[in-house]
């Protein structure tokens, strides 16, 4: 249901403005006070991800008595619960959450105003006793309505697609928990190897993935996709299309365009001998396998290898590994939703089956 509702929001957004042209035009610019109010609302939300205290109550930013506002609050509370559960299980603490907004005013009157908001969110976490901040970025797209209530503008309705706890089709998505008593070995992440002659250019693939990953904090190209290619975000998702670009233009592999279904992409790569499965299991089993290896996940996959995501027997998503955190945890880039060097399983349900694919070369 959550994925279905987020899909409605995405269709609304795509009908009004494209992903590749998120901007605030002078003619459409909202009043300064509402731009500031939107920034305040998103800043209040982000603080719930990093604070151990009591941030501004979520209910203070929503219209009381509205069924749509009630759903939006419930969605936000579920996301916060997911992220905190994920972090606690992995033994990390979020210390940074900094949103930046792209705002487009859509319509309104004296008592209400409707907006498209693209949020670029920069996040960072640390491991206990360490000072290294592991930073990554995500992007989310919102269509929301503010309504005046007691001299204050609050959220009356909101639909959005968000990579934090929102990427699976189950109604109450929750992260898989790390098995107790099985820590990963602490290792340093490697740099991607230089391209072999006529081989897979891992550095080039990662550079392309970083440049064109979209709204997520850290992405290049002005947070826009590569306009040479069609954007399938509103037509089943753009993750496989993005990966084909990465492998072809960045990695130099022979991958045809048009592989927009994840199953077709992974099937083609395996059938052509350009990738093979080195791990396929739910998270807890993958963790157990990694914990028994000298270098943990690094003995399973490397920079510019791939991760596919399967739910209920269906291949739902695919991403490229663009780095590792300070403990060797795989970080990925993707479209739909937009991620920049984000923990590979963040946002996915405990029932997800992960496929690790090693790319040849």
Final residue before a domain boundary, out of 108, 135, 161: 161
The pLDDT value given to residue 293: 94
Average pLDDT, integer, range 107-118: 92
Residues 21 and 122 in one domain: yes
* CA-wise closest residue to 232 among 264, 205, 269: 264
Residue 169 placed within a domain: no
What pLDDT, on the 0 to 100 scale, is given for residue 167? 55
Q: How does the average pLDDT of the chain come out, rounded?
A: 87
Do 207 and 154 belong together in one domain? no
Q: Do residues 306 and 212 share a domain?
A: yes
109 lies in the same domain as 209: no
Are 219 and 144 contained in the same domain?
no
Q: How confident is the model at residue 22 (pLDDT cuts 50, 70, 90)?
A: very low
pLDDT value at 346 more than 50 = yes
Q: What is the CATH number of the domain that holds 268?
A: 3.90.1720
- Is 186 part of a structural domain of the chain? no
Q: Tell me if 166 is assigned to some domain.
A: no
* Predicted confidence (pLDDT) per residue in 169-217, tens digit: 444 677 888 887 777 776 666 666 554 446 899 999 999 999 999 999 9
Q: Residue 224: its pLDDT value, please? A: 97
Residue 188: Cβ-neighbour burial (10 angstroms; 0-12, 13-18, 19+) = exposed
| Same-domain pairing of 229 and 335 | yes
pTM: 0.88
**Residues 137, 222: one domain?**
no
pLDDT digits (tens, 9 = 90+) for 303-329: 999 999 999 999 999 999 999 999 999
Region 93-110: what's the mean pLDDT?
A: 94
Count of domains observed in the chain: 2
228 lies in some domain: yes
Distance CA 74, CA 68 (A): 10
pLDDT at res. 53:
67
Same-domain pairing of 209 and 148: no
Which of 143, 161, 179 is the endpoint of a domain?
161
Please report whether residue 256 resides in a domain: yes
Q: Supply the range of the domain harboring residue 22.
A: 2-161
* Together in a domain, 151 and 219: no
Q: Which of the listed residues 131, 161, 191 is the one where a domain comes to its end?
A: 161
Q: Are residues 147 and 224 in the same domain?
A: no
Residue 31 lies in a domain: yes
353 and 208 both lie in a single domain: yes
167 in a structural domain: no
> Does residue 239 lie in a domain region?
yes
């Amino acid at each position: 249901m959550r994925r279905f509702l987020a899909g409605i929001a995405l269709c609304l957004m795509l009908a009004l403005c494209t992903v590749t042209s998120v901007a605030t035009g002078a003619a459409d610019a909202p009043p300064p006070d509402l731009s500031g109010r939107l920034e305040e609302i998103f800043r209040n939300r982000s603080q719930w991800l990093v604070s151990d205290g009591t941030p501004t109550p979520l209910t203070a930013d929503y219209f009381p008595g509205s069924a749509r506002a009630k759903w939006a609050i419930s969605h936000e509370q579920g996301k916060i619960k997911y992220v905190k559960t994920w972090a606690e299980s992995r033994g990390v603490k979020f210390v940074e959450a900094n949103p930046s907004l792209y705002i487009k005013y859509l319509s309104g009157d004296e008592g209400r105003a409707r907006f498209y908001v693209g949020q670029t969110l920069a996040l960072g976490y640390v491991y206990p006793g360490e000072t290294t901040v592991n930073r990554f970025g995500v992007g989310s797209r919102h269509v929301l309505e503010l309504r005046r209530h007691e001299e204050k503008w609050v959220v009356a309705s909101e639909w959005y697609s968000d990579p934090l706890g929102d990427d699976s089709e189950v109604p109450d998505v929750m992260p898989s928990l790390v098995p107790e008593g099985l820590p990963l070995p602490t290792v340093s992440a490697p740099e991607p190897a230089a391209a072999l002659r006529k081989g897979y250019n891992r550095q080039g693939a990662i550079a392309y993935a970083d440049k064109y990953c979209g709204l997520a904090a850290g992405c290049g190209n002005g947070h826009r996709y590569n306009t040479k290619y069609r954007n399938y975000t509103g037509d089943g998702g753009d993750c496989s299309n993005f990966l084909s670009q990465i492998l072809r233009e960045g990695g130099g592999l022979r991958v045809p365009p048009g592989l927009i279904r994840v199953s077709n992409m992974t099937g083609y790569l395996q059938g052509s001998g350009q990738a093979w499965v080195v791990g396929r299991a739910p998270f807890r089993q993958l963790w157990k396998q990694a914990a028994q290896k000298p270098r943990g996940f690094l003995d399973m996959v490397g920079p510019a290898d791939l991760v596919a995501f399967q739910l209920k027997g269906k291949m739902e998503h695919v991403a490229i590994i663009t780095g590792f955190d300070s403990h060797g945890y795989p970080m990925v880039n993707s479209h739909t939703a937009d991620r920049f060097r984000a923990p590979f399983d963040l946002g996915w349900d405990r029932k997800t089956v992960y496929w690790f694919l090693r790319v040849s070369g």
